[in-house]
Amino acid sequence: MKKQTSVKKTKKQTTTKTVALHATPKQKTYNPWSMSIYFYWFIILFFIAATFYILGRSHGVLNHRTPLNNNVTVTEEALMGATDYYESGKTKLLTGDVDGAIVDLDTAIDSGAATADMYILRGEAYMQSANYRGALDDFNTAIEMNPQSSVAYYDRALLNTRLEDYEAALNDINNALAARATNDNDVLQLRDLYAKRGQLNLWLKNWDGAIADYTNSLARPDGIVSPTVYAERAEAYTATGDYASAISDYSTAVRIIAEQIQGLSTGYEREQMSANAMSYFEKSAALNFQIGNIDAARNDLESANTIAMALNDTESVDRINALLADIQ
């Protein structure tokens, strides 16, 4: 919790003494030069007083220091608007500067002009820094401020998923879908919402619900198709005993990976996708073996073995070769 240090505002006051003009008992003397001096001093003193007044006012803003994360303080930059800090926090979060994002979002929220979006973004930053208590508090506040925020419900669902409270996460996804139906936005896509609910239903062993959600997700025209959705629906089909549909989904997942892998920017991402494809081939091989399609099982294992060798994954190569030997 941030501590606020109040700075006592001081206002310097300048008192001007009135000086009487010398006069003879019979006649007052009038000195134009003296009057002009008094006039100029009056102007000078007025500006001095005004300057100290302004400095005294700004002192409370410029020198107000609120301790933030890791003793980071905000000084002159507090003159920036809350929106500027929000945008700065968003940029920092996107570039991986989580601590810097939290500092900016703290300032935006403490400005007195906080919005639900500010709490949502800070909650996302807290979640990335594993401050789950802070993230939950911010998502709850955002929902209180805007009960129709599908993003707040979705983010809280992701948090509850990390906390392994799948029932709460499922309830949040349902609320996100309801909010999304009445308040369209470009941030959340229905494809992703249904895919997430399908995953939760899968983990809760609601196989039919998972299949329905994954199918609904794949039917959506928006967004990019994820091979994971096909692979996870294959798991649900496997649980229901529909091996043919599961094998078809694993095959589609591998095909999508083959299409998308060349567009990946890093070698690490390509290796991860390749490892996923290897796993899907192995699972497909196991299902083909179960239904007696030995040739298809052998082809799947040989494909998995080719990927394992390309990845220099000797452990997987040994395991797959042993499986191939068993089905000869």
Q: Name the nearest CA neighbour of 117 among 142, 81, 148, 80.
A: 142
Please state, in angstroms and rounded to a whole number, the distance separating the CA atoms of residues 81 and 220: 39
Separation CA 90–CA 111 (nearest Å): 17
Contact 133, 122 (CB under 8 A): no
pLDDT at 224: 84
- Residue 156: count of CB within 10 angstroms of its CB: 28
Q: What is the pTM of this model?
A: 0.71
Q: Which residues touch 160 (CB under 8 Å, ≥6 apart)?
A: 166, 168, 169, 172
Q: Is 2 left (phi over 0), alpha (psi -120 to 50) or beta?
A: beta
| Cβ–Cβ < 8 Å for 122, 141 | no
Q: Which domains does the chain have, with CATH numbers?
A: 210-328 (1.25.40.10)
Cβ distance 123 to 134 under 8 Å?
yes
Rounded Cα distance between 132 and 137, Å, is: 9
Would you state the structure tokens that stand for residue 63, as one six-digit string?
A: 């020198």
Q: What is the pLDDT of residue 246?
A: 98
If one counts every other C-beta atom within 10 angstroms of the C-beta of residue 314, the result is 10
Residue 234 has pLDDT above 80, yes or no: yes
Query: In the predicted model, what is the mean pLDDT of residues 224-243?
Result: 96
CA angle 190, 260, 302 (to 5 degrees): 120
Phi-psi category of residue 165: left, alpha or beta, with phi > 0 → left and psi -120 to 50 → alpha: beta
Over residues 251-268, the pLDDT tens digits come to: 999 999 999 998 888 999
Average pLDDT in the chain: 81
Q: Residues 99-132: pLDDT tens digits?
A: 999 999 999 999 888 999 999 999 999 999 999 9
pLDDT above 60 (res 175): yes
Looking at residue 80, its pLDDT comes to 54
Point out the least confidently predicted range of 9-13, 143-147, 159-163, 207-211: 9-13
Q: Which pLDDT belongs to residue 14?
A: 37
Q: How confident is the model at residue 238, as a pLDDT?
A: 98
Q: For the chain, what is the largest distance between any 2 Cα atoms, rounded to a whole number of angstroms?
A: 136
